Amino acid sequence: RRSTRASNDRVESLAPNLAHVLAVIALAVFAAIHFRAGAGRVAPSSGDASDSKSVSAGFAIPTEKMASASASLGSHPAGRKLTVDDLILGCSPLAGIYASSTPERATETVRAALDAGITRFDTAPHYGLGLSERRLGDALRECGADMSKTRVYTKVGRVMKPKDEVTASEKESAVEWGNVPGDPGCIFPDAPVDVLPVLDYTGPGFRRSHADSLARLRLGSVDGLRIHDAEDEARYAQANAGGGVAELVKLRDDERAIREVSLGMNDAAFVRRMLEDNPPGTFDSVMMAGAWNLLDQDGGDVLWECERRGVAVHNAGIFASGLLVGGSHYKYAPAPPDIVARTERWRALASKHGVPLPAVAIAFACAPRVVKGCAVGVKSPEEVAQSVAWLADANAVPAQLWVDAKELGLLAPDVPTPSPA
């Protein structure tokens, strides 16, 4: 989903008389109001012709915002080397996303990550209706993880309730039926069949979700709680007016139960609204998925806002739904021809410079200095090893590749790229 912004209207030359001056002023006021209102709306599909975006560069940021957003974004210092400390293990695959998996494979995957030096793990009740949390917690214990150095993040917004506890009203209006096993939309075939995911973004809902997550993980605490997918008006209103955000702040500041209040969302417009509608210091970090990668920079203005506010960004979806590592989907649907063509242009450029395309993707995703970690979702020890290898290759991406990418129109001129050593 993409944010809808106002487009710049083409204004013809006006004769210098009072009526025209007043017209120009009125147009400017209208444009300012329209732009501000558009910041929080959800757009139609990416193919909508009314979407005013910098198409030639492959950008999803409106042209009029690009200069004010990414031009202010800085890159990490020159010569910085990426290490495993820059990786976050995305744990949705531990629950068997799209295909069945086993607890043993989940443990082997976590063990490989720990052995590689990865210390941050991101999960959610949504992933397999609690299965990802259970398998992650079991794996950390079986592997003897040093929990004084291991950081676990989970999410709130969905409460996994036993079926007999779910009310008729909840079944009608709050159960997320598309994520229940047996529904064609369910992407976790191993998810349990005795619970239902109930949407609840209120303060009490967040508190229960946190307690349930600790029970599934069998941990005394987690480092951070992310508000998950508050990306429609009802969820957004509950999280704010319903006390959800305030409850997380209380858990952090008053009860010291968590270290970070965070967001875990896909829609850059709602992320920015959440930042702007809450006081400075509310959020410590933001995990934004699919909005800052080689194919899509929807989240450029969010990165800028996070940098201005001192909020760390955990970048997810850095491989564009897997398209940049050989997959065929983009934003959870078959990739459209223009996106496939742009991916092949990136692949050709990477090949020209002798580096794997996934390494280029990692280097780009980690480049903005506000980005403090990139999430990689892996389902096997082999994929852990491959991700770590690509990370090493990311340090070898030549500076000329970024120059070429901008000359070819694959990136806009003002987008931050890795600083040359």
| 292-324 pLDDT, tens digit each | 999 999 999 999 999 999 999 999 999 999 999
pLDDT at 72: 60
Phi, psi (5° rounding) for residue 373? 165, 145
**Is pLDDT above 80 for 190?**
yes
pLDDT mean across residues, the chain: 86
Higher pLDDT, 75 or 301: 301
Question: 332 pLDDT band (50/70/90 cuts)?
Answer: confident
Question: Hey, CA dihedral for 248, 249, 255, 259, is it positive or negative?
Answer: positive
Question: What integer is the mean pLDDT of 345-357?
Answer: 98
Q: Which amino acid is at 106?
A: A
- Checking if the pLDDT of 61 tops 70, the result is no
Residues 45-70: what's their mean pLDDT? 36
Identify the weakest region by mean pLDDT among 18-27, 48-57, 194-203.
48-57
271 pLDDT higher than 50: yes
Query: What average pLDDT does the segment 242-257 reach?
Result: 98
Assign 54 a pLDDT band (cuts: 50, 70, 90): very low
Burial of 117 (C-beta count, 10 Å sphere; 0-12/13-18/19+) = exposed
Average the pLDDT over 198-207 and give the result: 98
Q: Specify whether the CB–CB gap between 200 and 157 falls below 8 A.
A: yes
pTM metric for this prediction:
0.83
Helix (H) or strand (E) holding 63: helix 63-69
How much of the chain, in percent, has pLDDT values that exceed 90?
78
Which tokens hold the place of 145? 């993880």
CB proximity list for 354: less than 8 A, separation 6 or greater? none
What is the per-residue pLDDT for 420?
A: 76
Here the tokens at position 236 are: 């957004």
Which residue is it, tokens 């270290």?
Answer: 259
Torsion of CA 192, 187, 174, 263, to 10 degrees: 110
Q: In this predicted model, what pLDDT tens digit does every residue of 130-181 receive, in sequence order?
A: 999 999 999 999 999 999 999 999 999 999 999 999 999 999 999 999 999 9
Task: Assess whether pLDDT exceeds 60 at residue 68.
Answer: no
* Confidence category of residue 421, pLDDT binned at 50, 70, 90: low
Give the pLDDT confidence score for residue 47 in this predicted structure: 31
Is pLDDT above 90 for 355? yes
Q: Are 374 and 315 in contact (CB under 8 A)?
A: yes
pLDDT score of 202 more than 90: yes
**pLDDT by residue (tens digit) across 86-130?**
999 999 999 999 999 999 999 999 999 999 999 999 999 999 999
- Report d(CA 136, CA 157) in Å as an integer: 20
pLDDT (0 to 100) of residue 91: 98
The lowest-confidence range among 6-10, 207-211, 227-231, 267-271 is 6-10
Per-residue pLDDT band for 21 (boundaries 50, 70, 90) equals: very low
**pLDDT number for residue 73:** 75
Q: Can you give the pLDDT at residue 41? A: 31
* Lowest pLDDT segment from 175-189, 238-252, 326-340: 326-340
In the three-class reduction of DSSP (H, G, I as helix; E, B as strand; rest coil), residue 169 is classed as helix
pLDDT at 1 over 90: no
Task: Please tell me the distance from the alpha carbon of residue 115 to that of residue 133, in angstroms, as a whole number.
Answer: 20
> Is 227 a residue whose pLDDT tops 50?
yes
Share of the chain above pLDDT 70, in %: 82
